[in-house]
Amino acid sequence: MKHGLILFFLSIVLIFPLMAEDILLVDIMGKVEIKQPGQGWTPASEGLSLSLKTQISTGFNSKAVLDMGNSRTTIQPLSRLRIEDVKAGGKEPRTSLFLGAGSIHAEVKKSDSRMINFSISTPVATAAVRGTVFDVSTQFLKVDDGVVLFESGGYYMYVKKGGFSAVRDGLMGNPVSDPYDNAMSKRVVSADFSKYTGNRRTRGASGDGTGQPIIRIR
């Protein structure tokens, strides 16, 4: 009997916050499927409330829009996203997502009274923001508004409005204005800073500057 009461109490503590955060699937176009924790893949429907660790998969020419209170994320076609952590209330709201494949467009609401932490991890990099608009794929980041902290392999840099960063494989080349051209011979992080002067940092170094720095990932 005691074990039953303990398990019931833990269920209330763990499950209730997931429902209270209102992670909503507000818009669907085309084929979209979800995989709730402990369940198989099922067709998604608009207005569905999602729990943490839910995966969302979009098909060809398909999209899905997530509303998490302080942010709205559009999952682009042929993408797979997992909801890691969401806390909408409190002094420091946070959202953490994992993008396993494809790309997303994220709009994070700005707040003068609260610090909003929003991060997206991919197999090779992490993008963290506090009030901005940007696009990110598993290896590419483009910032439309605000500032995004882009990290990969222990190295990181700040990318501002109009800039981009990318993690690429291929032949070694000079920094380029288009991240899809002339890929590098090793996995590197490259960024276009030509449109602004700002702070860039790597492990063990910091300073202000412009140009197109390349940071090698070991």
Q: What is the DSSP string of 158-208?
A: EEETT-EEEEE-SS-----SSTTSS--SS-EEEE--TT--EEEEETTEEEE
More confident residue, 60 or 123: 60
For the record, the structure tokens of 115 come out as 């610090």
**pTM greater than the 0.85 cutoff:** no
One-letter amino acid for residue 185 of the chain:
S
pLDDT, one tens digit per residue, over 33-62 is 999 999 999 999 999 999 999 999 999 999
Once rounded to an integer, what is the mean pLDDT over residues 114-125? 72
From 153, 148, 146, 142, select the one nearest 217 (Cα to Cα). Answer: 153
Average pLDDT of the chain to the nearest whole number: 65
Task: Give alpha helix (H) positions in 62-162.
Answer: none
SS3 state of residue 119: strand
Q: What integer pLDDT is reported at residue 27 of this predicted model?
A: 94
Q: What integer pLDDT is reported at residue 217 of this predicted model?
A: 27
For the record, the structure tokens of 189 come out as 């992080």
Strongest mean pLDDT among 29-33, 67-71, 157-161: 29-33
Q: Is the pLDDT of residue 130 over 70?
A: no
Q: What is the DSSP string of 106-117?
A: EEE---SSS--E
More confident residue, 37 or 139: 37
Number of domains the chain contains:
1
Return the CATH number at 101: 2.60.120.1440
Domain range for 149 is 2-216
pLDDT, one tens digit per residue, over 84-104 is 988 766 666 778 888 888 888
**Percentage of the chain modeled with pLDDT above 90:** 22
Once rounded to an integer, what is the mean pLDDT over residues 173-195? 33
